[in-house]
Structure 1
Amino acid sequence: MRIVVSGTHATGKSTLISDFALRHPQFVVLPDPFELIDERWDGPHPAAFAAQLRIAADRLRHPEAADLIAERGPLDFLAYLWALDRMDVAGIDPDLLDRARAITAEAMRHVDLVVVLPLAADDVDGPAPDEDGEDAELREMMNDILLDLVDDEDLVGPRARIVEIGGAREARLAAFIDAVDRFGR
């Protein structure tokens, strides 16, 4: 089973994946693509999100194991790119957005389950994003776009099941386990 855990920054993706993996060691955990890029940009940058999108897509097309959980998928980075474009933060080439959409759609054909952690101030464990110096406007815009993208069947494809999970840490874990049980092979 191929699972992607998606959401804007600081929504509890790493915590949820870690909690699940402790109980299900048969799953290979793929880290956030940000950890895999060599370049470091000062702040959100289209090239950084495009690089992460390619990594996220490639690893879904050529998985290292049948059972895997990827922290973030191409939908996340497509949402970040569109958020930057809508915020008019950086001049984003429309061809980049078209290519990113095509790469995302192709990669999503290999995903069984997308677990979306929508932004909600009252259900995230850990420090608030503003306390971490995170860009609140980008965070909110990405969240809104991601929630729209997961409803786009042309983009997500017919295979992937979408589950939105909220609540406290234990409730999220229980909902994640339930989704894997319901939609697993």
Structure 2
Amino acid sequence: MRIVVSGTHASGKSTLIGDFSAAHPAYEVLPDPYELIDEAGDEPDAGLFLAQLGISGRRLLEFERGARVIAERGPLDFLAYLTALDELGRASRPGGHPARAIDLAVAAMAHVDLLVILPLGGDIRVPEDEDPELREAMDGALLELSDDPDLLGDAQVIEVAGDPATRLAQVEAAIAHLDGR
């Protein structure tokens, strides 16, 4: 099962992946692409998100059906951040997504069985330095992108909510359902 956990910053992705990994140690965990960027600046910009989109997309292409992998963030996350930057008037490039970024996202999503979305809500509070305006705009853009069948391919999409144990149970139920079809 190839799983991608998506959501805006400070939405609970790392907690869910940590809980999942502890319960399912046979799965390979792919870290947030941000951790793989050598010179990430303090202020997020389009260039940083495009670089992360490239990392997240290329690494998913390595996994064929039957692989056991869970990734923190996928290409849709970074398309959503780019959309959010545009909506907030913060884009450092002309509006719209480069065709190659969309093509990579589509190709990578063909290597995803389950897309887990963690929408904003619940009791996760973040400080002002976490850019709540960008966080909310990205969340809305991600939810919209996760409804686009042209981007998703055959990936099953679920939104999970609740406390960490409930979120984990929702992911495990989706995996059981997909394994049973």
TM-score range, shorter chain: over 0.9
Query: Following TM superposition, by how much is the alpha carbon of 1:42 offset from its aligned partner in structure 2, in angstroms?
Result: 2.6
Paired residues in the alignment total 179
Within the candidate set 122, 126, 130, 1:129 is matched to 126
Q: In the TM superposition, what whole-angstrom CA distance separates every residue of 1:110-159 from its partner, at most 9, and x where no partner exists?
A: 10000000001x243xxx2226x2001100000000000010000111x1
* 5+ long unaligned stretches in structure 2: none
SS in 2 for 1:62: coil
Aligned to 1:140: 136
- Cα RMSD, aligned residues only: 1.7
- Residue 176 (1) aligns with residue 176 (2): no
**Percent identity for Structure 1 against Structure 2:** 53
Map residues 1-185 of structure 1 onto 2, 5 A cutoff.
Answer: 1-63=1-63, 66-94=67-95, 96-120=97-121, 122-124=122-124, 128-130=125-127, 133-157=129-153, 159-184=154-179
* 5+ long unaligned stretches in structure 1: none
> TM-score, length-normalised on structure 1?
0.91
Write the distance in 2 (CA, Å) between the matches of 1:93 and 1:30: 31
Query: Following TM superposition, by how much is the alpha carbon of 1:86 offset from its aligned partner in structure 2, in angstroms?
Result: 1.3
Query: Following TM superposition, by how much is the alpha carbon of 1:160 offset from its aligned partner in structure 2, in angstroms?
Result: 0.2
SS in 2 for 1:70: strand
Write the distance in 1 (CA, Å) between the matches of 2:77 and 2:23: 26
> TM-score, length-normalised on structure 2?
0.93
Query: Following TM superposition, by how much is the alpha carbon of 1:101 offset from its aligned partner in structure 2, in angstroms?
Result: 1.7
